[in-house]
Structure 1
């Protein structure tokens, strides 16, 4: 009798465990994959010296290369007319795998057209962007993607990202599918492409880096992908726990928290650059040096003006935190790095005191959700108001590639734990 009871108990337990396993498989199967920002760049109006003249963009093919962070079996591309004053007509756009960033050549076997609501042409309203239809196109993590588009007429006003640290090529004629571009002109800027999303595994997410030229990568190697955000993307891929996290670099050289500089101020661009990227879950806020440095750039001002500026910078941080929390984002503050000796800002003791005051607030528990102490990573231990010479690009403001590597390596990957 006991043996019979044991047998039926075993059968019941076996059936229960099978049901649990089946339910778990069903749950996994019913959890959809997500679109996640694998690459992104803040859009702005290119400065005159960084813009292409209308003749260059009349009946023109533009080919640009982008380094992705996460990979996946499908992708989509965002074309931007954010600062255009009239509709932008893109007559055709393609994606492909580039041969080398030092060449306009692509692998023709990898070339695929993009469509927009099923059409090969896209008409982007002024102030807007369009997301392409999904393309089944397998891309590896940390791989490069070429995006090529043709314009019959130039934009009424260009939208782009001058601080690309990547080479773009352009020629006349519709050559979006050409294996290479013959005798193209080239510039180290991006135009009209704002984001590339990858269809990634369930639970994938993105981290946005909101910053200025030190996030944008001034001092990094052109086509070298050695900004601190690139280092972070590579490290995230090295761990099974974080390899489904994308990195979107939303740094603009010369950007400010409080006033428009190069590109809109951080509060003005917050919705487009922080909230809009696909599957964003974290934002790293590393901005403020241009506000602090600009106050006394042309001559010292009273201490009361320094104190008022610090209060306004901290209030801007609080606005970012409130707005990010309203959308469920975790906000990570990064301390402002030293810049005494800067050949651009030449800060005095009051400006350095401002930086220290702002950094004390950033480090204070309960303000940001977490802190990355970039200041302690790159400062000279013997002269804490200056960059370590080995990490200095030479202008005493922007880190060198070695400095960016140290910054990227110093970011704890535990910050991106889903439990946080």
Structure 2
């Protein structure tokens, strides 16, 4: 009898580790994709009426898998409430097409309702959706606007978005849709995971945003890093989210708010953030003398302010237990917009010397060494130059993504 009872108890004993593991699991929400939102200017502003009472479909690519997801909508630049009449989510077979898998379309809800009014300057999370999400798959988020929205945008999406009049939230094809290459009112996609995860936020300018990358090609340096992380079985739990803005600076606003001004919202507030890769400073260096030369004292003071901004970012991140990886500023002599001279190059060298100094950052990624021309180190390597002596080509972005040691995130 004792032997029979012990045999009957064996399956329960075998299951007990699984039960214990399930009880110890505490699901957590983390950032899987993000875009820095702000008020568009110039040719990034859509003509009046473009989005009025229309459905806008936008494609994003989460960098890590999850069991459930929720979407982060933004009315950051709005002075009036933003009314979303409805939204949906689906899997997109092709990032360069509006078509989605019809079987995967799921309506989004906000506090259990189909519509939501987002206050001026605010963000709003959708209710969670039971949609297991795979890393690096294409996810389509469709928004149905009520009336004409004020524009909050990420102009440098390097991804195509589609729009049609009326309600097309459940329309798999969106046949005849018009398109543009921007994201609107879409600031993040979060996934819920049981397994522990780490989140790396890339804070930068157009070189992080991907100027020179292929539209719908997902070949920014952050995309390459995400692919390498997912190819490593030990590091598939590491997410990378891109918070680059074209023209961004450390010290002054440009096309969007400065890095110091947006640090809390775009970086420190990202759920699960553990690391920052900071690639900022090239626009600060270039704008100093773009309009007219300045004195040597002004150059030295400007470098000191850039270093001070780095210190601020490190201190504010460390206060929240976040590691900061400094990336060296890449060469830009030969660029017609900034027309850098020997003094600008000396400023860049001074900034990079500080970045490389042990103890200033938790680690360093030397993008300067990766991308500079060995024959003319004040310029980009020709094979990595998209053609403006400032932005990398897709080959250059790949070299940058390949140069980052994955062990930095262990």
What TM-score range do you get, normalising by the shorter chain? Answer: over 0.9
Number of the residue aligned with 1:71:
65
- Return the match for 2:307 from 314, 320, 336: 314
**Contact in 1 for aligned 2:93/2:138 (Cα 8 Å):** no
The correspondence of residues 61-140 of structure 1 with structure 2, limited to 5 A, is: 61-140=55-134
Number of the residue aligned with 2:329:
336
**Contact in 1 for aligned 2:201/2:273 (Cα 8 Å):** yes
Report the Cα offset of residue 104 of structure 1. Answer: 1.3
SS at match of 1:61: strand
Aligned equivalents of 2:396, 2:283: Cα separation in 1: 19
Report the Cα offset of residue 299 of structure 1. Answer: 2.6
SS at match of 1:178: coil
Aligned equivalents of 1:114, 1:266: Cα separation in 2: 32
Aligned equivalents of 1:330, 1:345: Cα separation in 2: 32
**Contact in 2 for aligned 1:56/1:172 (Cα 8 Å):** no
Report the Cα offset of residue 89 of structure 1. Answer: 0.6
Matched, 1:249 2:233: no
Matched, 1:201 2:194: yes
Aligned equivalents of 1:277, 1:177: Cα separation in 2: 30
Matched, 1:392 2:388: no
SS at match of 1:284: strand
Report the Cα offset of residue 107 of structure 1. Answer: 1.1
- Return the match for 1:60 from 54, 71, 90: 54
Aligned equivalents of 1:409, 1:291: Cα separation in 2: 26
Gaps of 5+ in 1: 1-17
Number of the residue aligned with 1:367:
360
Number of the residue aligned with 1:184:
177
Gaps of 5+ in 2: 1-11
Number of the residue aligned with 2:3:
none
Aligned equivalents of 1:317, 1:274: Cα separation in 2: 14
Aligned equivalents of 2:233, 2:26: Cα separation in 1: 20
Aligned equivalents of 1:53, 1:151: Cα separation in 2: 16
Aligned equivalents of 1:173, 1:44: Cα separation in 2: 26
SS at match of 1:328: coil
Aligned residues: 399
TM-score (norm 1): 0.92
Matched, 1:265 2:262: no
- Return the match for 1:213 from 198, 203, 206: 206
**Contact in 1 for aligned 2:75/2:121 (Cα 8 Å):** yes
Matched, 1:29 2:5: no
**Contact in 2 for aligned 1:258/1:316 (Cα 8 Å):** yes
Number of the residue aligned with 1:169:
162
Aligned equivalents of 2:88, 2:164: Cα separation in 1: 15
Report the Cα offset of residue 350 of structure 1. Answer: 0.6
Matched, 1:42 2:8: no
Report the Cα offset of residue 25 of structure 1. Answer: 6.3
**Contact in 2 for aligned 1:61/1:171 (Cα 8 Å):** yes
Aligned equivalents of 2:90, 2:371: Cα separation in 1: 38
Q: Deviations over 1:65-88 (max 9, x none)?
A: 001110122111000001111110
TM-score (norm 2): 0.94
Aligned equivalents of 2:405, 2:331: Cα separation in 1: 21
Aligned equivalents of 2:232, 2:53: Cα separation in 1: 45
**Contact in 1 for aligned 2:25/2:194 (Cα 8 Å):** no
Report the Cα offset of residue 23 of structure 1. Answer: 7.3
Deviates more, 1:259-268 or 1:50-59: 50-59
SS at match of 2:258: coil
Aligned equivalents of 2:266, 2:376: Cα separation in 1: 35
SS at match of 2:208: helix
Q: Deviations over 1:277-328 (max 9, x none)?
A: 1211101110000000011112321111110100000000000011101111
Number of the residue aligned with 1:153:
147
Residues 24 and 330 of structure 1, relative CA distance in 2, 3 Å threshold? farther
Residues 310 and 107 of structure 1, relative CA distance in 2, 3 Å threshold? same
